[in-house]
Amino acid sequence: QVQLVESGGGLVQPGGFLRVSCVVSGRTFDGSAMAWFRAGPQKERVSLAGITWTGGGSTYASSVKGRFTISRDYAESTVHLQMNRLEPEDTAVYYCAVRRGGIRTSPEDYEDWGQGIQVTVSS
């Protein structure tokens, strides 16, 4: 059974930084892609960044490119999202997800999800 467990959320002031992490387990992930999404008040999950598990290639949404960095620690089976220069508009529940195959931006293309973790940007 695939499990994804997020950690590292919380409250941060505007302009600050935070790193959320996702430990994945339950199968081998070679040939898979991991991604971070977030859901705001409207609850729609929006793609932020994706990374291939084996090669480490990554993609970003335009809204976070240059501020957020996705990375994976192969040995620790963990995917990180480093978030810098956070804005109140970044307040949301953040989810990690995994799929077999390459990076996609639609949440429907991902097979397994973490439980989500709250990130709040406020002074």
Q: Please give the Cα distance from 106 to 47 (Å, whole number).
A: 7
Note whether 3 and 24 are within 8 A (CB): yes
Q: What pLDDT is stored for residue 89 in this prediction?
A: 94
Q: At 31, list the tokens.
A: 């040939």
Give me the mean pLDDT over the 35-45 stretch.
92
pLDDT band at 42 (very low <50, low <70, confident <90, very high): confident
Kindly tell me if the per-residue pLDDT of 56 is higher than 90. Answer: no
pLDDT band at 43 (very low <50, low <70, confident <90, very high): confident
Q: Which residues contact 38 (CB under 8 A, 6 or more apart)?
A: 45, 46, 48, 90, 92, 93, 94, 95, 119
What values do phi and psi take at 27, rounded to 5? -165, 175
Q: What pLDDT is stored for residue 47 in this prediction?
A: 97
Q: What pLDDT is stored for residue 109 in this prediction?
A: 97
pLDDT in tens, 4-32: 999 999 999 999 999 999 999 998 888 99
Q: What pLDDT is stored for residue 98 in this prediction?
A: 97
Q: At 42, list the tokens.
A: 């409207």
pLDDT band at 84 (very low <50, low <70, confident <90, very high): very high
Lowest-pLDDT range of 25-29, 87-91, 119-123: 25-29
